[in-house]
Amino acid sequence: EVQLVESGGGLVKPGGSLRLSCVVSGFTFSTYSMNWVRQAPGKGLEWVSSISHSNSYIYYADSVKGRFTISRDNAKNSLYLQMNSLRAEDTAVYYCVRDHSFAFDVWGQGTMVTVSS
């Protein structure tokens, strides 16, 4: 069974940092591009970042560029999102998502990040 399991969310103060992790199983992680997508409470979906299967490309949304860093460890079947200088507007559920032929075909259940003093 294909699974994506996120962890690392929580409550953090403005200006603080968090590192999200996503452990995958049930498919060959090293052959897929991966993404982070977030959804603020009661709002729509926002793409955050993408990383290719071999790290040959990495992209960020303007709203997080310079503050967030996406990375992966293919040996550990894991995807990461290092989030620094967090702001209240970063409060959201963060989803780890698999990319397959121009579609996000598998989603994790999400991890909640709350930025508040």
Partner 1 sequence: AIQLTQSPSSLSASVGDRVTITCRASQGISTTLAWYQQKPGKPPKLLIYDASSLESGVPSRFSGSGSGTDFTLTISSLQPEDFATYYCQQFNSFPITFGPGTKVDI
Q: Name which of 42 and 117 has its Cβ closer to partner 1.
A: 42
User: At its nearest, how many Å lie between partner 1 and the CB of residue 114?
Assistant: 16
- Closest of 34, 24, 20, 18 to residue 94, by C-alpha: 20
Which of 95, 111, 113, 115 is in the footprint of partner 1 by CB under 8 A? Answer: 95
Based on the shown chain and the rule CB under 8 A, indicate whether residue 116 belongs to the binding site for partner 1: no
62 belongs to the binding site for partner 1 (CB under 8 A): yes
In the stretch 19-58, what mask flags binding to partner 1 with x, by CB under 8 A? ----------------x--------xxxx--x--------
Contacts of 26 by beta carbon, 8 Å cutoff, 6+ apart: 1, 2, 3
Contact 31, 52 (CB under 8 A): no
CA atoms within a 13 Å half-sphere pointing along the CA-CB vector of 86: 23
To partner 1, the closest distance from the beta carbon of 35 in angstroms equals 8
By CB under 8 A, name the binding residues for partner 1.
35, 44-47, 50, 59, 61-62, 95, 101-105, 107-110
